[in-house]
Chains A and B, each alone.
Chain A
């Protein structure tokens, strides 16, 4: 049994989670066109990525800036294997296993080396290692494709040209894209449930104990370096899986889609908006953020035109689509101000 006995808690929160998961589950049949499906797949990937980060930040209280590096290792692993060994399932498996090995060993090394001291030192080390890794990845262009990244094909079953059912439910065609989407969706669901189980296990409870009071944890016999390192390794492995799924979805891996520091910032924003130390916050945070990132600009474009047409150019200036980042920042500040424990914390408190 995969379930962990850790339901979302709170009626409103449960309703919200069910709504988001249902929307994602039926996305290929509800949404028309490739952009909405792309948004849905991105939400899935980031829900997993942010959840794996939450194990570190929310549960173990460790700040890491290397999460995009592990995400990138997963994405590059699959990309390099599919590019070099050809588009087969075996390539995906080899790429994924190699990526998990690299991510795991690297996380172990960083953890054992730097978590002995203070967790702030760990944060600095991850920043340095992640920057070095990003530079390395763009330099080794024979392997990684450099700044251009790698475009590759996926196994035949997952290609857009593959048609499984011409006229499926709701008259929607089920093709390779649909199958890829479900591979991502079910992969994320499985790994998310696994993470939930880990944080609800005795091991997960020790992580929380160490976050709350490392001194007392040691007096009970818990070796905090070992536990923190284990948390970092787990976070790295799940991030690498998210990266692999992302690569399969995009059929492309490059520095901008995996290693860039701006993705690291996005992860931080999502985990804070959603609510730290809840795991469910990752689903909510990813959904809100990715939708805002993709549609806020379009929405503002509509408002901009409407207000301009109404003859209020000064007011319209606020809604210039080029200023969407400003609005996103404002949304972030407001959400932190009104929901310091994240949306999940707020919803749980409301329905206690």
Chain B
């Protein structure tokens, strides 16, 4: 069964500041939606509201028509919402392989098995190794996540979400800070995921060439509000984007 995701008037306020402002969007399977907007527009916060890291002040998130707004992050993850975080978010003192295995284990619903040692779970270990191969990290499998280079940490971040086998993929600037030869590994991976028409893919990305080549649809957020939504050519050409977003697009972000 394919998945459907919708946000209805999704809103969050931090004190007086409205970080996400009544965003209503329907996401369809087989469609890659790029979410663009200036720094501080609320893109990451929008993701956090969908995957449950933050609770909405108003509005709803519907997955397969079910209102999941009251549910916690773990329950939403189990329903198939996957996140790869903008700020790398790993298990620093565990090895690369152990990091990925934790996600594989979660995907298979192995939460409380206490009596069968990891070493005997060939199935899980093999699956984790496959995924390490996909992001070209096999050679680093025994390193602890903390000692990896920035680029490798970004790849591992993405690997954790892939290993979770979600139905909705949320990439938050997956290639930020990656070198030119590393970024294609992740972008190719996203392109491959796109071939599976049953998945929803959402991608926050600042690099316009990446957005052009991957996106089927673009949403523009400015000051928390959705100001444009449509097919890439139309959205990019629209005056609101030219003014609100592309005006500052060449300024690549360094910090995040």
Whether A219 and B89, one on each chain, are in contact in the complex, defined by CB atoms closer than 8 angstroms, is yes
A198 touches B114 (CB 8 A): yes
Count residues on chain A whose CB falls below 8 Å from chain B CBs: 29
In the complex, what distance in Å separates the CA atom of A216 from the CA atom of B74?
10
Query: Interface readout for A195-239 with B: 1 if CB under 8 Å, 0 if not?
Result: 001101111111011001101111111111001001000100000
A201-B117 CB under 8 A given contacts A221-B77, A222-B74: yes
Contacts of A223 in B (CB 8 A): 72, 74-75, 111
What is the minimal beta-carbon distance from A345 to any residue of chain B, in angstroms?
Answer: 12
- Beta-carbon contact of A212 and B93 below 8 Å: yes
A33 at the interface (CB under 8 A from B): no
List A contacts of B164 (CB < 8 A): 220-221
Query: In the complex the two chains form, is B112's CB within 8 Å of A216's CB?
Result: no
| In the complex, residue of chain B having the shortest beta-carbon distance to the beta carbon of A3 | B117
Say whether B111 contacts A213, CB under 8 Å.
no
Is A220 a contact partner of B106 (Cβ separation < 8 A)? Answer: yes
Q: Do the beta carbons of B89 and A205 come within 8 Å of each other?
A: no
Chain A residues whose C-beta falls within 8 Å of the C-beta of B113 in the assembled complex: 201-203
**CB-CB nearest in chain B for A234:** B114
Residue of A4, A216, A217, A222 near B117 (CB, 8 A) is A4
Q: Does A351 contact B (CB under 8 A)?
A: no
Number of residues in B with C-beta < 8 Å to the partner?
Answer: 37
A218 contacts B73, C-beta separation under 8 Å: yes
The answer to whether B89 touches A230 (Cβ under 8 A) is no
The chain B residues found within 8 Å of chain A, CB to CB, are: 51, 53, 72-75, 77-78, 83, 85, 89-94, 98, 101-103, 105-106, 110-121, 124, 160, 164
Interface centre among B75, B118, B119 (most CB of A within 10 A): B118
**CB-CB < 8 A to A204: which residues of B?**
114, 118
B111 to chain A, nearest CB (A): 6
Instruction: From the candidates A201, A216, A218, A227, name the one contacting B115 in the complex (CB within 8 A).
Output: A201
- CB distance A203 to B111 under 8 Å? yes
User: Quick check: is A5 within 8 A (CB to CB) of the other chain?
Assistant: yes
Q: Nearest chain-A residue to B51 (Cβ)?
A: A219
Please tell me if the beta carbons of B106 and A203 are within 8 angstroms of each other in the complex. no
> Complex: how many Å from CA A219 to CA B102?
11
By beta carbon, the residue of chain B nearest A203 is B114
20 further contact pairs, Cβ within 8 A, besides A5-B117, A6-B119: A5-B118, A5-B120, A201-B113, A201-B114, A201-B115, A202-B105, A202-B113, A202-B124, A203-B112, A205-B94, A205-B105, A212-B92, A212-B93, A213-B90, A213-B92, A216-B89, A219-B53, A220-B106, A221-B75, A221-B164
In the assembled complex, the Cα of A145 lies from the Cα of B43 at a distance in Å of 65
Within residues 35 to 67 of chain A, which ones have a CB less than 8 A from any CB in chain B? Answer: none
Chain B's nearest CB lies how many Å from the CB of A159? 36
A204–B102 alpha-carbon span in the complex (Å):
11
B94 touches A6 (CB 8 A): no
- The distance in angstroms between the C-alpha atoms of A248 and B22, with both chains bound, is 67
| Interface pairs A-B: 5 shortest CB-CB | A5-B119, A221-B77, A212-B91, A220-B106, A203-B114
Docked Cα-Cα span, A222 to B72, in Å, equals 11
Can you list 8 residue pairs at the A/B interface with Cβ under 8 Å? Answer: A197-B114, A200-B117, A204-B114, A212-B94, A218-B53, A221-B74, A221-B75, A223-B74
**Residue with the highest number of chain B CB atoms closer than 10 Å, among A4, A215, A221:** A221
Q: Which of B73, B92, B120 has the most chain A CB atoms closer than 10 A to its own CB?
A: B73
Report Cα–Cα, A233/B160, bound state, in Å. 29
